[in-house]
Chain A
Amino acid sequence: MSNSNSTEIIRAGLKKRYAREKRFRLFGIASLMISFAFLLVLLFTIVSKGWPAFQQTYVKLDIVLDETVLKVNNKSDEDALFSANYQKVVRESLNKMFPGVKGRKQKRDLKNIVSNSAAYTIRDDVLENPDLLGTKQTYWFLAKDDIDVFMKGKIDRDLPEDERRLKDYQFEWIDKLIEEDRLEKRFNTVLFTNGDSREPEQAGMKGAIMGSLFTMLVTLMLSFPIAVAAAAYLEEFAPQNNKWVDIIEININNLAAVPSIVFGLLGLAVYINYFGVPRSTPLIGGLVLTLMTLPTIIIASRAAIKSVPPSIKEAAIGLGASRIQTLFQHTLPLAMPGILTGTIIGMAQALGETAPLLMIGMIAFVAEVPTGVLDPSTVMPVQIYLWSDSPERAFTERTSAAIMVLLGFLVAMNLIAIMLRKKFERRW
Chain B
Amino acid sequence: MKKLPILLGAALSLLSTSNFAAGRDYIEIVGSSTVYPFATVVAETFGKKTKFKTPKIESTGSGGGLKLFCSGNGIDTPDITNSSRRIKQSEVDLCEKNGVSNITEVQVGFDGIAIANSKKGPTFDLSLKDVFLALAKEVPGEKEGELIANPYKTWKDVNSSLPDIKIEVLGPPPTSGTRDAFAELALEGGCKKIDWIKAMKKTDKNKYKEVCHTVREDGAFIEAGENDNLIVQKLVSNKDALGVFGYSFLDQNSDKVKGAIVDGVEISFENIADGKYAVSRPLYFYVKGDHVGKVPGIAEFLAEFTSEDAWGDDGYLTEKGLIPLSEEKREEVGSAARELKVLSLDAS
Residue of A nearest to B54 (CB): A367
* Distance A155 CA – B59 CA, assembled complex (angstroms): 31
Q: Is the CB of B314 within 8 A of A388?
A: no
Assembled-state Cα–Cα distance A3/B103 (Å): 97
CB neighbours of B28 from chain A (8 A): 279, 376
**CA A86 to CA B16, docked complex, whole Å:** 48
Q: Which residues of B have CB within 8 Å of A374?
A: 20
A391 touches B228 (CB 8 A): yes
Q: Provide the residues of chain B in CB contact with A239, threshold 8 Å.
A: none
**How many residues does chain A have at the interface if contact means C-beta atoms less than 8 Å apart?**
52
Task: Indicate whether A278 sits within 8 Å of B21 (C-beta atoms), given known contacts A365-B40, A391-B321.
Answer: yes
B34 to chain A, nearest CB (A): 11
Comparing B173-181, B215-223, B249-257, B272-280, the segment that makes contact with chain A is: B249-257
Tell me the complex Cα distance, A328–B11, Å.
22
Q: Within the complex, what minimum Cβ distance (angstroms) separates A35 from chain B? A: 25
CB contact list, A359-394 vs B, under 8 A: 361, 363-368, 374, 376, 386, 388-393
Interfacial chain B residues near A83, Cβ < 8 Å: 49
Which residues 292-347 of B sit at the A interface, judged by CB distance below 8 A?
314, 316, 319-321
Interchain CB contact under 8 A, B320 and A361: no
Q: How many contacts A-B (CB < 8 Å)?
A: 116
The verdict on B210 contacting chain A, using a C-beta distance below 8 Å, is no
Cβ of B26 under 8 Å from chain A: yes
- Residue from the list B7, B30, B58, B252 in contact with A391, Cβ < 8 A: B252
Interface residue A226 (Cβ < 8 Å from any Cβ of B): yes
Report if A252 contacts B (CB, 8 A): no
CA distance A183 to B169 in the complex (A): 42
CB distance from A185 to the nearest CB of B (A): 22
Interface status of A104 (Cβ within 8 A of chain B):
yes
Residues of B with C-beta under 8 A to A367? 43-44, 47, 54
Flag if B53 contacts A368 (CB, 8 Å).
yes
Measured CA separation A364–B16 after assembly (Å): 26
Verify B40–A388 contact, CB threshold 8 A: no
Q: Mark B144-174, 1 if CB is under 8 A from A, else 0.
A: 0000000000000000000000000000000
User: Are B20's CB and A278's CB within 8 A?
Assistant: yes
In the assembled complex, the Cα of A393 lies from the Cα of B43 at a distance in Å of 21
Encode contact with B along A248-276: 1 for CB under 8 Å, 0 otherwise: 00000000000000000000000100011
Question: Does residue A120 face the partner (Cβ distance < 8 Å to B)?
Answer: yes
Residues A74-130 near B (CB distance < 8 A): 82-83, 104, 108, 112, 116-117, 120
Asked if residues B227 and A389 are in contact (CB atoms below 8 Å), the reply is yes
Interface-facing stretch out of A21-29, A157-165, A309-317: A157-165
Question: Considering residues A117, A283, A365, which has the most beta carbons from chain B within 10 angstroms of its beta carbon?
Answer: A365
Chain B contributes a number of interface residues (CB within 8 A of A) equal to 54
Does B286 make an interface contact (CB < 8 A)?
A: no
Name the residue of chain A whose CB is nearest to the CB of B8. A225
CA distance A108 to B314 in the complex (A): 8
Chain A residues with CB under 8 Å of B51's CB are 82
Interface residue B140 (Cβ < 8 Å from any Cβ of A): no
A120-B48, A367-B44, A393-B253 known; A361-B58 Cβ under 8 A: yes
- A198 and B40 in contact (CB under 8 A), knowing A275-B18, A361-B58, A365-B56? yes
Indicate if B76 sits at the interface (CB-CB under 8 A). yes
Docked CA distance A415–B236 (Å) = 40
Cα-based distance from A287 to B119 in the complex (angstroms): 49
Q: Are A280 and B56 in touch, CB under 8 angstroms?
A: yes
- A394 nearest CB neighbor, chain B only: B252
Residue of B nearest to A119 (CB): B48
The reply on A188 being an interface residue by CB < 8 A is no
Q: Interface digits, B241-265 against A, CB 8 Å rule (1 contact, 0 not)?
A: 0000010110111110000000000
**In the complex, which residues 14-38 of chain B have their Cβ closer than 8 Å to any Cβ of chain A?**
14-16, 18-21, 24, 26, 28, 30, 33, 36-37
A-B contact sample (13 more), CB < 8 A, given A162-B254, A163-B119, A199-B44? A108-B319, A116-B45, A116-B316, A225-B3, A287-B15, A365-B36, A365-B56, A366-B54, A367-B47, A368-B26, A368-B47, A390-B37, A391-B249
